[in-house]
């Protein structure tokens, strides 16, 4: 593995960086870690690289287009993709733009095995058809469908509600090239739509009546909506733009439905980065929301059950505290009552005075005097022990 000396690594997941470092040390490679941005792509030809490795952490068209750009600028440099996605559909998505694909979990051995294959291929180069300069509509459509399948698959692996919401809007915004994306969920009890997160939004949570605004219109009708001139639309709320300084140019909204067809929320995209939203975008978002709605409802149910469990646990803690308090108070009451009985008996019978009288009447009866000493000592001990026990357990 001595031929690959210079390697460009595009990685946005620092969790696996040590694997690449070990791979580089074992093969005596020069590994350069680069960020995924146009500037680094354009600078690639200024330095000769023998291999490019790209790790894809999320399924999106942006990642596919990044590979396209790499291949265009560095057509003769072999590219390896490392990902949990696109393995079964790598030929549809990447074509001949990549040499190898490593499916996660990544290991040093997998990296070394891939590099070894390319060394063999370099001795006997494989003749490949030239890459098409223009991606036709069918290929683009297949790519978008593949991304959709991978996104749907990735959603099922996320159980945390906040993480799921963030993942959904991030993927939707990337796939449909929107500046902003927000997912609104219906709160049945309060009859409101709420959002806990959103691309391009500073507020952590937004709430409003479920019959207001564009999102409310979509929720009430259960129909998708494309708006090219939002400021002329009757339900569009201009106040949000005025407060935030953002200008909404176009909107694509789609209702989220559960398995029974009930609307449980709305996903809303603002400002397509190139042009306006069209029927194809609407159809694609519809396919995405069909998977999102079911996954989201399951996550909401898990969140509800989690909250109910936490409430039960809190109620149990409070009940345990109350029970201990009652037992302690009962115990204290019993001790206090016992102490009172002892004190009353001692007071009414005046035991110590009786003992003193007996001593004075039988001064010369040594046996009786010894017995009186024992009785007096025992009685005083009962009194002192009762008082000490009451003080110790009454606090």
The percentage of the chain sitting over the pLDDT mark of 70, rounded to a whole number, equals 82
What's the confidence (pLDDT) of residue 126? 47
pLDDT tops 60 at residue 69:
yes
pTM of the model: 0.58
Q: What is the mean pLDDT of residues 333-342?
A: 64
In this prediction, residues 269-273 reach a mean pLDDT of 94
85 three-class SS: coil
Cα 147 to Cα 67: distance, rounded to the nearest angstrom: 14
What sign does the CA torsion over 25, 27, 29, 32 have? negative
Q: Which residues pair with 195 in a beta bridge?
A: 206
What's the confidence (pLDDT) of residue 134?
A: 47
Close Cβ partners of 195 (under 8 Å, ≥ 6 residues apart): 182, 183, 184, 185, 201, 205, 206
Greater pLDDT, 137 or 239: 239
Q: What is the pLDDT of residue 242?
A: 87
Among the ranges 65-69, 203-207, 310-314, 319-323, which has the highest mean pLDDT value? 65-69
Question: What are the residue ranges spanned by the domains of the chain?
Answer: 6-137, 161-306, 311-394
Q: What is the mean pLDDT of residues 17-33?
A: 91
Specify whether the CB–CB gap between 55 and 13 falls below 8 A: yes
Instruction: Indicate the pLDDT class of residue 332, thresholds 50, 70 and 90.
Output: low
The answer to whether 6-137 and 161-306 have equal CATH topology is: no
pLDDT higher than threshold 70 for residue 108: yes
Distance CA 303, CA 296 (A): 10
Residue 346 confidence class, pLDDT cut points 50, 70, 90: low
From the CB of residue 348, how many other CB atoms can be counted at a distance below 10 Å? 8
Q: 177 or 119: which carries more pLDDT confidence?
A: 177
> In the structure, what pLDDT confidence band is assigned to residue 2 with cuts at 50, 70 and 90?
very low
Q: Six-digit token pair at 29?
A: 């490679």
Retrieve residue 13's tokens: 């997941």
Place of tokens 């201009």: 238
Asked if the model's pLDDT at residue 129 lies above 50, the reply is no
Q: Shortest CA distance to 297 belongs to which of 262, 254, 253?
A: 262
Least confident of 99-113, 293-307, 345-359: 345-359
Distance (Å, rounded) from C-alpha 346 to C-alpha 266?
80
Question: With 70 as the cut, is the pLDDT of residue 1 above it?
Answer: no
Residue 390 pLDDT exceeds 80 = no
- DSSP code string of 219-257: HHHT--EEES-GGGSTT--HHHHHHH------EEEEEEE
Kindly indicate the confidence band of residue 174, based on its pLDDT and cuts at 50, 70 and 90: confident
Mean pLDDT, all residues of the chain: 81
Q: Which residues contact 7 (CB under 8 A, 6 or more apart)?
A: 24, 29, 30, 31, 32, 49, 50, 51, 52, 53
Binned at pLDDT 50, 70 and 90, residue 251 comes out as very high
**Burial annotation 113-145 (CB, 10 A radius, 16+ → b, else e):** ebbeebeeeeeeeeeeeeeeeeeeeeeeeebbe
Lowest-confidence pick of 167-171, 208-212, 275-279, 325-329? 325-329
Topology adopted by domain 6-137: Rossmann fold (3.40.50)
Q: What is the mean pLDDT of residues 51-69?
A: 90
* Residue closest to 198 by CA, chosen among 244, 264, 152: 244
Q: With H, G, I as helix, E, B as strand and everything else as coil, classify residue 295.
A: helix
What pLDDT, on the 0 to 100 scale, is given for residue 60?
A: 82
Confidence band, pLDDT 50/70/90 cuts, at residue 20: very high
User: Tens digits of per-residue pLDDT, 360-369?
Assistant: 777 777 777 8
Class level of CATH domain 161-306: alpha beta
- CA geometry: angle 191, 195, 199, nearest 5 deg: 155
Tell me the pLDDT tens digit for each residue of 198-240.
665 555 678 899 999 999 999 999 999 999 999 999 999 988 8
Q: Taking the CA atoms of 161, 296, 275 and 247 in sequence, report the sign of the dihedral they define.
A: negative
């Amino acid at each position: 593995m001595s031929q690959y000396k210079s390697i460009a690594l595009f990685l946005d997941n620092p969790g696996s960086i040590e694997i690449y470092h070990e791979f580089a040390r074992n093969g005596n490679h020069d590994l350069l870690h680069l960020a995924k941005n146009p500037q680094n792509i354009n600078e690639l030809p200024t330095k000769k690289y023998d291999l490019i490795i790209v790790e894809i952490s999320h399924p999106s068209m942006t990642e596919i287009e990044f590979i396209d750009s790499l291949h265009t600028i560095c057509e003769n440099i072999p590219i390896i993709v490392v990902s949990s996605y696109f393995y079964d559909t790598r030929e549809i998505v990447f074509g001949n733009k990549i040499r190898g694909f490593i499916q996660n979990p990544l290991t040093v051995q997998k990296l070394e095995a891939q590099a070894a294959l390319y060394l063999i291929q370099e001795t006997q180069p494989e003749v490949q058809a030239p890459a098409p300069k223009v991606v036709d509509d069918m290929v683009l459509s297949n790519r978008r469908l593949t991304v959709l399948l991978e996104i749907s698959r990735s959603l099922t692996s996320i159980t945390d509600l906040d993480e799921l919401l963030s993942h959904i809007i991030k993927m939707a915004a990337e796939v449909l090239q929107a500046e902003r994306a927000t997912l609104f969920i219906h709160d049945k009890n309060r009859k409101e739509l709420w959002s806990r997160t959103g691309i391009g939004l500073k507020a952590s949570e937004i709430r409003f009546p479920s019959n207001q605004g564009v999102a409310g219109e979509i929720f009430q009708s259960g129909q998708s909506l494309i708006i090219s001139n939002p400021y002329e639309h009757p339900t569009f709320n201009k106040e949000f733009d005025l407060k935030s300084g953002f200008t909404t140019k176009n909107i694509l909204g789609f209702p989220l439905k559960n398995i029974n067809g009930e609307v449980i929320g709305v996903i809303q995209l603002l400002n397509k980065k190139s042009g306006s939203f069209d029927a194809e975008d609407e159809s694609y978002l519809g396919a995405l929301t069909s998977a999102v709605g079911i996954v989201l409802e399951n996550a909401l149910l898990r969140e509800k059950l989690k909250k109910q469990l936490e409430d039960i646990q809190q109620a149990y803690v409070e009940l345990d505290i109350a029970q201990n308090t009652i037992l302690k108070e009962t115990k204290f009451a019993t001790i206090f009552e016992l102490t009172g009985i002892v004190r009353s008996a001692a007071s009414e019978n005046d035991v110590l005075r009786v003992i003193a009288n007996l001593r004075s009447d039988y001064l010369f009866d040594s046996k009786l005097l010894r017995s009186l000493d024992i009785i007096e000592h025992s009685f005083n001990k009962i009194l002192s022990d009762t008082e000490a026990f009451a003080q110790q357990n009454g606090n």
